[in-house]
Amino acid sequence: MLAPYAVAHSLGRRHPEPSHAYRNDFQRDRDRVIHSRAFRRLEAKTQVFTRRYSDHFRNRLTHTIEVAQISRTIAAQLGLNVDLVEALALVHDIGHPPFGHAGEKALDSAMRLHGLSFDHNLHALRIVEDFEQRYAGFRGLNLTVEVREGIIKHSRDYDAAEYPELTEYVLESRPPLEAQLIDATDEIAYTTADLDDGFEARLLTLDQIKDAVPVFARFLGDVETVYPDATKKLQFNEVLRRILDRWIGDLIGNTQAEIHRARPSITTLEDIRACPDRLVRLSSEIEKERRGTKQFLYQNLYFSPALESEKDDAERVITALFDLWMKHPEKLPTSYQEKAGAEPLARVICDYIAGMTDNFIYEQYDRNCGTS
């Protein structure tokens, strides 16, 4: 049963379609995302570690699946629309370029030299609205307005004056709780997962984490008492499982408390939209734990010397290819040369690069700029 403030049904699609015999609108959106090329390409896009470092660790696709799993669990507990939440979770990272956040930074820097910018949420909207071509009746995936709104608004607020092209998404209002949830679960998922991958990669030590992350140290003491003969990795796994459960449980409980505190003003979806603040959030105590853990990861993993070469690669490869195609657009694939007649060349090149996998962009660099 849905809560009265959940999204009960869709307001429709850009191109009207008849109802499906056995799938609701959001289930159809989920399936369209899963069957898209852009979704498949996430398997070969960096989360933190590129495949050149190791193929044991999470990539952008496996991270997306973890976010979807966590989000479904929480949505069911909060009485939200699980199908909408799943569709939003699966599409939330579809606009990321190769090389993870380093690639996004490099691509944005290249665009700013031409008075433009790169934003993975806005790029995701371009993907589902235009780039994916699977249907004879329309361009894109023709997703529901609720999923398209969630793509834009799940993780940040856009200013209506600065982004007039997004007017239809009612930027001055809050997104539904289903969309708000994705941002919170994304943070929880990657913070715990990056601890796991960092430890597995031997870039983070047990003592290092224990000294800097109090909640980890506390649970490690419990685990060592219960499983004194377990290997350090299995003990680590048990600790991480407890942290994940603690944070997810808190997100459920605190969101319920936030909604309760906002009553009687919060009883419908429109009340959620009119609320001055987002309601899906951790308690202050647990948010402090999460932020502290994230800060630890920034200092000891994301900016680790061992990963510097990967970041340097991202900047070098993206910058070189971008510059090459700006000077020699005739070297672009024919379809992108044709697009350059209707859009700025820099945007066309950005779209081309952002869609590449890590493997494919290295192939393009080797072919066009020399060896990597």
Domain at 64, CATH number: 1.10.3210.10
Is the peptide bond between 264 and the residue preceding it cis, with omega within 30 degrees of 0?
Answer: yes
Instruction: Write the burial class of residue 305 (CB in 10 Å: 0-12 exposed, 13-18 middle, 19+ buried).
Output: exposed
Provide mean pLDDT across the span 218-243: 97
**Any idea what DSSP says for residue 52?**
T
- Cα 371 to Cα 49, 220, 325: the distances in Å are 21, 46, 17
What pLDDT was estimated at residue 327?
A: 97
Q: Is 253 part of any domain?
A: yes
Beta bridge partners, 214, equal none
pTM comes to 0.95
Provide mean pLDDT across the span 127-142: 95
Locate tokens 């942290």: which residue? 243
Q: At what angle do helices 214-226 and 232-262 cross, to 10 degrees?
A: 130
Q: Is 323 part of any domain?
A: no
Which domain, by its residues, includes 196?
A: 25-307
Mean pLDDT for the chain overall: 95
From CA 100, how far away is CA 45, in angstroms rounded? 7
What pLDDT was estimated at residue 217?
A: 97
* H runs (alpha helix) in 201-283: 206-212, 214-226, 232-262, 269-274
What pLDDT was estimated at residue 372?
A: 45
Q: Is 186 part of any domain?
A: yes
Provide mean pLDDT across the span 212-241: 97
Number of separate domains in the chain: 1
Cβ contacts of residue 183 below 8 Å, gap of 6+?
A: 154, 155, 280
Q: Is 297 part of any domain?
A: yes
